[in-house]
Structure 1
Amino acid sequence: MIVEHWPLLGLRVRTERLELRLPTDDELAALADLAARGVHPPDERPFLTPWTDLPPRDLARGVVQRHWRDRGLWTPQQWTLELAVFEGGRPVGVQQVRGRDFAVLREVRSASWLGLDHQGRGIGREMRAGMLHLAFAGLGAEHAVSESFADNPAPLAVSRALGYRPDGISRDAVGTEVRVSQRLRLTRQDWLAGDRPQVSLDGLDACRELFGTDPADQP
């Protein structure tokens, strides 16, 4: 079975309402369709990725290619895990977590998106909390970093609610404009001290080598 060669397919992160895992190809197609229907209003630009600059068909294809690319480029030294987020068995978005030299730095970075129909119901916070449990409780991370445009309040509010603290800014060129992002950092100490919802992990031990960790490192 393919999971024997790519054990990440057996990884499951479960919260009260959600399940985070790699999608099957048919589920990936459903995610692509979801993204093509919109992840933010067309008159806004809350992400560096120009979600509304492409025709829906090209946008959907890009979602599929990103998932395939991240699996194909995976190494223990540099990895990106694109977890599909399911509510009631239906895909509602993606929670990404990535690491570079994780075995040394013990730091992850994250990004996410939700279909427009699923926003405003607390799903963004719940799926980020699931990802943080995977990072801190599962993999032994010491830091988690997130960045959002300074004028994009929703993800910044999620970060602050989960205990992140300001960690500087970054500047990017978007066309002829400069966009400023607020960087936030959550330390292991602050994560342990915060209010953490119930999260369960399945299938992680078989994946540890792919993350550049060892079972002996399990916190």
Structure 2
Amino acid sequence: MLADHLPILRLRLRTDRLELRLPSTFDEVADLADTAAAGVHDPDFMPFSIPWTEGGPEATARSVAIWYHRAIGRWDAQDWSFPFVVFHEGRAIGVQGLHAKWFAVTREVGSGSWIGQAHQGKGIGTEMRAAVLHLAFAELGAEYATSGSFVGNHASAAISRRLGYRPDGIKHAVVQDERRAEERWRLTRDDWEAHRRHDVTVDGLDPDVLEMLGLD
């Protein structure tokens, strides 16, 4: 089995409504690409620093498929990015990423996400980020988590506040040849503990997975 060689394929995060894991088949990657092609955000507001949704549905779907394979193909124990696919009622509805550099030393993770428009406004965005925060703090021993959202991305900022993040400054990026202001957010272990609202179950976090995360 491929999971014998890539142990991260065994890792599962479960909440009341969601399962977060890596896809086990190409059809699941295709399902995720179809979700993205159906729409991720208002076309008048680009929420991503890399505008991967700007080329229309077909280009967006292809971008998702290529991104997933690239994320796995560049895996590095000291600079990893976990592309969790979010499954709801058996369908791939979005991505909740968790990433870190030299995590064993820094004990800091970052996150990023997207979710299909048909599934927005239902609390799923909060629940899926809560799942990876549980993995980071409760299972991996993180001390800090960071996130970012462009000014005007009210939904993302609201999730950060709801989960206990505090403002952590502003940085600027160039997106589609325009300067954009990004609000930075930081979550401490104490603030995470104080704002926990979701039960999360973690399966498959064995020594082989920890080794792939630089925690052997």
TM-score after normalising by structure 2: 0.95
Report the counterpart of residue 5 of structure 2 in structure 1.
Answer: 5
Residue 167 of structure 1 aligns to a residue in which SS?
A: strand
Report the counterpart of residue 196 of structure 1 in structure 2.
Answer: 197
Aligned length: 214
Residue 168 of structure 1 aligns to a residue in which SS?
A: strand
Q: Give yes or no for the alignment of 1:118 onto 2:119.
A: yes
**Greater Cα shift, 183-192 or 118-127:** 183-192
Kindly provide the amino acid, as one letter, of the partner of residue 156 in structure 1: A
Q: Superposition pairs for residues 163-174 of structure 1, below 5 Å?
A: 163-174=164-175
In the alignment, is the contact (CA less than 8 A) between 1:136 and 1:142 conserved in 2? yes
Report the counterpart of residue 181 of structure 1 in structure 2.
Answer: 182
**Aligned equivalents of 1:52 and 1:137: distance in 2?**
34
In the alignment, is the contact (CA less than 8 A) between 1:39 and 1:51 conserved in 2? no
Q: Superposition pairs for residues 93-132 of structure 1, below 5 Å?
A: 93-132=94-133
Q: Superposition pairs for residues 79-158 of structure 1, below 5 Å?
A: 79-158=80-159
Report the counterpart of residue 217 of structure 1 in structure 2.
Answer: none
**Aligned equivalents of 2:23 and 2:130: distance in 1?**
19
In the alignment, is the contact (CA less than 8 A) between 1:97 and 1:109 conserved in 2? yes
**Aligned equivalents of 2:177 and 2:59: distance in 1?**
24
Residue 127 of structure 2 aligns to a residue in which SS?
A: helix
CA RMSD across the alignment: 1.1
Unaligned runs of 5+ in 2: none
In the alignment, is the contact (CA less than 8 A) between 2:23 and 2:29 conserved in 1? yes
**Aligned equivalents of 2:52 and 2:69: distance in 1?**
19
Residue 84 of structure 1 aligns to a residue in which SS?
A: strand
Report the counterpart of residue 63 of structure 2 in structure 1.
Answer: 62
In the alignment, is the contact (CA less than 8 A) between 2:51 and 2:175 conserved in 1? no
CA drift of 1:177 comes to 2.1
Q: Give yes or no for the alignment of 1:209 onto 2:211.
A: yes
Report the counterpart of residue 16 of structure 1 in structure 2.
Answer: 16
Unaligned runs of 5+ in 1: 215-219
Kindly provide the amino acid, as one letter, of the partner of residue 209 in structure 1: E
Q: Give yes or no for the alignment of 1:42 onto 2:48.
A: no
**Aligned equivalents of 2:63 and 2:127: distance in 1?**
26
